[in-house]
Amino acid sequence: MGVPHATSKDDYYDGDYIPKGTICIPNTWSLNHDPNVYGPDAEEFWLERHLDRTDQLKDGLLGISEGHSTYGFGQRICIGRHVANNSLFIAIATILWTMQLEGVKDLDSNVVVPNINAEEQHGILS
C-alpha cells in the first residue's frame, strides 16, 4: 500500500463522491498487477514484460522509469528509489558471489521445492 494522502477539496471519481479531507491510500500492489497493463497473466513474473527490444527497462505506468509504481509516482515519488534499487542489486550480487545456495531438504534428504503460489492468509492486507 502507498502513503496515505487526504483530499484537499471535494471531488468525484468514477461517479463516486469523495469529500474534502478523505484519506486515500493508493493500492500499489494493484497498480503493479493490473491485467489491463501487464496482460491476463499479470500475477506471473515474466522478465520480457519489463524489457524493451534493447533489453532496457520499459517505462511503467505514468511514464515511471522503474517499470513499476512501487516507489510512488508524481511529485511525491520516493527520492531514495535509486539508492534502494542500487542497494538491492549490490546485496543480491554479494549473496550470489559469496554463498552456495541449495534447496532445503526434508527428513528423507529430498529437496523441498517451494510452492510459488503460497499466500500469507493472516497478514495485515489479507
Structural contact between residues 3 and 23, judged by C-beta atoms closer than 8 angstroms: no
Angstrom distances, CA of residue 52 to CA of 55, 58, 85, 86, 118: 5, 6, 19, 21, 30
Q: Is residue 12 a contact partner of residue 4, using CB atoms and an 8 Å limit?
A: no
| Coil vs helix vs strand at 5 | strand
List, for residues 46-77, the tens digit of each pLDDT value. 888 878 888 887 776 666 666 677 887 777 78
pTM, 2 dp: 0.56
